[in-house]
Structure 1
Amino acid sequence: MEISSIPSFLDYYDKIRQRTERVIACIPADQFDWTYREGKFTFADQIRHIAAIERYLYAETVQGRSAAYTGCGKALADDPEQVLAFFREKHQESLAIFSSLSDQGLQQKIQTPGGGQITCWKWLRALIEHEIHHRAHIYTYLGILGIPTPPIFGLTSEQVQEQSTQASKI
């Protein structure tokens, strides 16, 4: 998928973020520091990481600056309310930066932290893929804990299967 305009990117990214917000809302406040294994990201780490990478890596580099990501630890935000506030604040800061880009700027090359070059629209696509990747971790963590989650596109796989079975009988 090529991103050809800033408004279309922002609209699509908003839909991605809404889905992420819906699954984050399923995390019980007393589970924000839960992880499946010592040394692995907690729920809170996942949320802080999405926010910090968006703002301090992607939003910085699309401006021609060096990445400023320094991690996703509790120093950024600790309790659930602070974590969610940080998540939303960094997203708003990033959106302001992304909104300032021009459609022509989407074709410019971005310097990645690894020293490579990538077209800006592809870099923004990678941002979306990154968020989806970490959202999947949150879904998995919630599944391990037996906490129900919302379907991504409105129906569960079981509901789609049931509808398909009914439709094939007609």
Structure 2
Amino acid sequence: MEILSIPPFLDYYDKVRERTLRLISVVPPDQLDWSYKPGKFSIGDQIRHIATIERYMFAETIAGRPSAYQGCGKDLADGYDNVVAFFNELHQQSLAIFRQLSDADLQRKCTTPGHVEMRRWKWMRAMVEHEIHHRGELYIYLNLLGVKTPPMYGLTAEEVAQNSTPIAGTEKNPMK
């Protein structure tokens, strides 16, 4: 999908972010430092990472500047409320950069941290994919902790299966 215009992209990205925020809202504050394995991102690291990569890598390079990403540690924001505020603040900063772009700017190239030149719209698409990737990891982390997570699009897979009519010959429901 080629991104041709900033306003529709920002509307789409806002919906992606809403789903991420719904998930973050169920993170137990006392589990923010939990990780499935020593040396791996904690839940808080995951949230800070989405924020810092968006702002300091994607937004900077889209603006024509080099990446300024320096990590996602607790030194940036610690404690649930501070992490969420940090997440939202960096997103607002990124949006301010994206709103300055013209539709023609989307076709101009930027240089990624890997020294690859690509059209800005492709880099923006990669930014969305990056957030979705880490949101998926957060779902897994929270499921490992037994936290009930919100369905992504309103229904769980089990609810969709319950509300669906089987295709002839497929009466056995693999979800049961």
* 1:18-167 to 2 correspondences below 5 Å: 18-165=18-165
Q: Within 2, Cα distance between the matches of 1:125 and 1:166?
A: 35
Q: Within 1, Cα distance between the matches of 2:134 and 2:13?
A: 15
Q: Within 2, Cα distance between the matches of 1:112 and 1:127?
A: 12
CA drift at 1:3: 0.8
Q: Within 2, Cα distance between the matches of 1:82 and 1:152?
A: 25
The corresponding residue for 2:16 is 16
How well do the aligned residues superpose, as a CA RMSD in angstroms? 1.3
Equivalences, count: 169
Task: Give deviations 1:74-104, integer Å, cap 9, x for gaps.
Answer: 1100111111111000000000000000001
Amino acid at match of 1:165: T
Q: Which 4+ runs in 1 deviate beyond 4 A?
A: 166-169
The corresponding residue for 2:174 is none
The secondary structure found in structure 1 opposite 2:110 is strand
Amino acid at match of 2:102: S
Amino acid at match of 1:143: N
With the length of structure 1 as denominator, give the TM-score of the two structures.
Answer: 0.96
Considering fraction of residues, name the structure with more helix: 1
Identity value in percent: 59
With the length of structure 2 as denominator, give the TM-score of the two structures.
Answer: 0.93
Task: Give deviations 1:102-145, integer Å, cap 9, x for gaps.
Answer: 00100011101111111110000000000000000100001101
Q: Within 1, Cα distance between the matches of 2:27 and 2:54?
A: 21
